[in-house]
Structure 1
């Protein structure tokens, strides 16, 4: 066991929690490492929820043997909880073992953990995992930008869920080549996801192309999604297309666009729509100033 400084007040708190049977709070307590024997006791508790709380406790990595016991726990949810613990950075052997866990939800939890990005071999293994939800978790990890080559591979993954997860990651807009790839994805929902990131405005030519594609899509849900997106206002000709959309629900979503108040002539045309689009929305929509905020 690593020598852990003892805080008398923390010991009192731990003692009171144990005495009162508040085992969840005890398992989560940041000073639990001061009482290794109690951590060992909790690791053997028959209630898997208690063991999950223990596995997420950052302080357990200071205790010899506890991490290994939890990594071999019979319950995959306990192992998954451990895989999500950012303090695992100091336990590379445990990370390697969890990466090879037979239960994909454990590997998915590890792929979500930002500290995994400090281990290139593990990132490489997870990016090739046979289960798409593991690769999706890696694609959505906010630290994936540290591995641009792997991002590029995920951007062309054969499963659209993985590409969709990557398009939802805010770090993507820092990589022009990845943006270009995702903006041309064959799955239109990937494109729709990407255009929802405000930082995509750094790529005006990409924005114009994606908006034109989305407003012309055969799926009214896609057209509704872009109709309500503030970024639509970057492409006036797309607004004109949506005003004439054959689906009244799409035109209604256009009314809900937070920037539509800046276009009174559009509101006037929608007010004359032959199908009910909630006229109260038309007249209650406050105008949005185009002036920059100072």
Structure 2
């Protein structure tokens, strides 16, 4: 049932020429013929307001008309309209839009994976920023191995760095393996911090032996290594005291008193300090150990 008060409000807006306000009204759908008129209005600002109106119906002819609008801001507003996030027609059309800004917006859409071929197409887009947004899109990377692999091989290092941070790559083991040996250390560093590698001991072992100490530090601080005693042992013997420091601070040490005992005697005071203040350590030993006797108020020494 149409609310008469709302109808009067809409009628007054139309009669007074306040078409921008009318086009943005959330109840505009009760007058579909007016939506069609507004979509054809010569004033682009009116069409822009209509394009961002959540009252738009994904099956409307109005949507088809706006998708062809010559003003890219109209198409951009459509791409950003939350009411159209699942619109196949909108996604497919905007993914091929001549404006890179429109394609960038679509590359962030969580419904990309439900439409075959769109993610794959955007993965080879000429715009760096389109590919960047796609690399950070959880649903798109989770749903398309082809797109994930294309981004993994992208020549632009920023793309690979972004992809290495995406938790959805956990579903793409081949991609994770490639990124773990990427020539760029920041790609490998981002991967080391990514929860996607939590249950991948092979990748953890690879990164724990990385030539870049910052990557090894990231692995040493990752609680996921709790199930990888060989990785922990390797890191506890690392030549870089910063790596050993982050390992000593890691709650993964809780079930490894032998390693903890070794670190409690480490030559680096920073490592011993980190171990002394690791809240997980008291849980794995009944008696006070040498690494627990240092006052917790002491400032961390520099490494």
1:142-179 alpha-carbon deviations (Å, 9 max, x no partner): 13343323322222111222223333333322233222
Which residue is 1:225 aligned to? 218
Output the CA distance in 1 between the equivalents of 2:64 and 2:163: 31
Please report the RMSD computed on the Cα atoms of aligned residues, expressed in angstroms.
4.3
TM-score normalised by structure 2 residue count: 0.66
Which residue is 2:132 aligned to? 136
The structure with the greater share of residues assigned to helix is 1
Q: Secondary structure at the match of 1:59?
A: coil
| 8 Å CA contact retained: 1:127, 1:150 | yes
Q: What pairs with 1:229-244 in structure 2 (closer than 5 Å)?
A: 229-233=222-226, 234=228, 235-242=231-238, 244=239
Which residue is 1:170 aligned to? 167
Which residue is 1:257 aligned to? 250
Q: Secondary structure at the match of 1:191?
A: helix
Residue 67 of structure 1, CA deviation: 5.6
| 8 Å CA contact retained: 1:173, 1:199 | yes
Residue 110 of structure 1, CA deviation: 1.0
Pair 237,91 (structure 1): closer, same or farther in 2 beyond 3 Å = closer
Pair 202,91 (structure 1): closer, same or farther in 2 beyond 3 Å = closer
| 8 Å CA contact retained: 2:58, 2:87 | yes
Residue 194 of structure 1, CA deviation: 2.7
Output the CA distance in 1 between the equivalents of 2:261 and 2:68: 63
Output the CA distance in 1 between the equivalents of 2:25 and 2:92: 24
Q: Which runs of 5+ in 1 are unaligned?
A: 1-5
Whether 1:103 and 2:106 are equivalent positions in the alignment is no
| 8 Å CA contact retained: 2:249, 2:277 | no
Which residue is 1:273 aligned to? 268
1:37-60 alpha-carbon deviations (Å, 9 max, x no partner): 379659958499x73x95272634
| 8 Å CA contact retained: 1:84, 1:112 | no
1:174-214 alpha-carbon deviations (Å, 9 max, x no partner): 2332222222222232223333343424332222112221x
| 8 Å CA contact retained: 1:152, 1:178 | yes
Which residue is 2:200 aligned to? 203
| 8 Å CA contact retained: 1:126, 1:134 | yes
Count the aligned residue pairs. Answer: 266
TM-score normalised by structure 1 residue count: 0.67
Output the CA distance in 2 between the equivalents of 1:55 and 1:67: 14
Output the CA distance in 2 between the equivalents of 1:278 and 1:80: 56
Whether 1:188 and 2:188 are equivalent positions in the alignment is no
Pair 204,58 (structure 1): closer, same or farther in 2 beyond 3 Å = farther
| 8 Å CA contact retained: 1:70, 1:82 | yes
Q: Secondary structure at the match of 2:107?
A: helix
Pair 149,126 (structure 1): closer, same or farther in 2 beyond 3 Å = same
Which residue is 2:78 aligned to? 82
Which residue is 2:240 aligned to? 245
1:230-266 alpha-carbon deviations (Å, 9 max, x no partner): 2344312343245x5255xx66545553445665436
| 8 Å CA contact retained: 1:61, 1:88 | no
Output the CA distance in 1 between the equivalents of 2:250 and 2:134: 32
Alignment equivalent of 1:157, drawn from 151, 154, 159: 154
